[in-house]
């Protein structure tokens, strides 16, 4: 089945250009357009597109709010940011909110198409097309957010370890594991274990393909 895409940008001419570009790909189809965050969320809730291609500067809600509301209404929809803003703080915030890719509007057609295909089939991978400086700042910021122990625990959560299994593996109490996880949730703004793992992956704290497996201490 073709990947169904919702275009969200307040510039009609830009949306139309994207629609024309994507219409040339047999496995991609644009199923709707929106110019505000509210319109995007309403469409996503009603039609459940596979991918939302979202501009950062649309009128209405902040892009992070639009992402959160979209994922609440249509959890399977993948959010791809297409933006003119190459700011590390914006990249971190939107990846942390649940976006699966962040692309600058200077991205090539081939890279855009490849990203739209990839985010649907590879839910664990984060796609970035930003400047090297921004990428380094995003990565460095992630490393400062969590302690080494918190990264260890999130790495094991990413491998589907339970709290009791993590406690045994790291030779700590289950209560200590829970305390560390509460700290992780607070620092990352996560609402669940899966959300914490996804946000840790987005910040390059945990590898989606091969998470780090710490050895028990002691």
How far, in Å, CA of 18 to CA of 32, rounded?
A: 12
184 near 150, Cβ under 8 Å?
yes
Task: Using the predicted structure, report yes or no on whether residue 62 has a pLDDT greater than 90.
Answer: no
Q: What's the pLDDT score for residue 126?
A: 63
Q: What's the pLDDT score for residue 137?
A: 52
Q: What's the pLDDT score for residue 147?
A: 79
Cβ-proximal residues to 193 (8 Å cutoff; 6+ apart), any chain: 157, 181
Task: Using the predicted structure, report yes or no on whether residue 83 has a pLDDT greater than 80.
Answer: yes
User: CA of 31: how far to CAs of 4, 40, 191, in Å?
Assistant: 6, 12, 30
Give the confidence band of 190 by pLDDT, cuts at 50, 70, 90.
confident
Task: Using the predicted structure, report yes or no on whether residue 89 has a pLDDT greater than 60.
Answer: yes
Tell which residue, 122, 98, 119, has the closest CA to residue 196.
Answer: 98
How far, in Å, CA of 152 to CA of 140, rounded?
A: 17
Highest mean pLDDT among 85-89, 132-136, 193-197: 193-197
User: Mean of the pLDDT values across residues 136-159?
Assistant: 74
Give the confidence band of 189 by pLDDT, cuts at 50, 70, 90.
low
Q: How many CA atoms lie within 13 A of 161 on its CB side?
A: 24
Average pLDDT, rounded, for the chain: 83
Neighbouring C-beta atoms of residue 148, cutoff 10 Å: 9
Give the confidence band of 120 by pLDDT, cuts at 50, 70, 90.
confident
User: Mean of the pLDDT values across residues 37-49?
Assistant: 95
Tell which residue, 97, 99, 96, has the closest CA to residue 81.
Answer: 99
84 near 104, Cβ under 8 Å?
yes
Residue where the block lists tokens 């790909």: 25
How far, in Å, CA of 151 to CA of 197, rounded?
A: 10
For 116, the token pair is 């739209």
Task: Using the predicted structure, report yes or no on whether residue 7 has a pLDDT greater than 60.
Answer: yes
Task: Using the predicted structure, report yes or no on whether residue 127 has a pLDDT greater than 70.
Answer: no
How far, in Å, CA of 164 to CA of 173, rounded?
A: 8
Kindly give the residue spans of alpha helices, DSSP state H, lying in 48-192.
63-73, 88-97, 109-121, 132-145, 148-158, 163-170, 174-188
């Amino acid at each position: 089945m073709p990947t169904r895409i919702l275009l969200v940008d307040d510039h009609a001419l830009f949306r139309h250009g994207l629609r024309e570009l994507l219409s040339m790909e047999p496995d991609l189809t644009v199923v709707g357009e929106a110019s505000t965050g509210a319109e995007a969320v309403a469409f996503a809730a009603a039609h459940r597109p596979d991918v939302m291609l979202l501009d950062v500067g649309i009128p209405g809600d902040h892009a992070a709010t639009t992402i959160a509301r979209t994922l609440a209404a249509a959890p399977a929809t993948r959010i791809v940011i297409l933006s003119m803003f190459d700011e590390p703080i914006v990249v971190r915030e939107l990846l942390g909110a649940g976006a699966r890719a962040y692309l600058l509007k200077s991205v090539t057609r081939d890279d855009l198409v490849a990203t739209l295909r990839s985010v649907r089939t590879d839910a664990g991978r984060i796609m970035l097309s930003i400047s090297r400086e921004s990428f380094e700042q995003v990565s460095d910021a992630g490393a400062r957010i969590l302690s080494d122990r918190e990264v260890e625990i999130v790495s094991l959560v990413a491998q589907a370890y339970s709290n009791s299994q993590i406690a045994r593996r790291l030779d700590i109490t289950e209560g200590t594991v829970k305390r560390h996880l509460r700290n992780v949730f607070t620092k990352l703004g996560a609402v669940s274990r899966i959300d914490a793992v996804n946000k840790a992956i987005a910040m390059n704290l945990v590898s989606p393909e091969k998470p780090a497996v710490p050895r028990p201490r002691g």
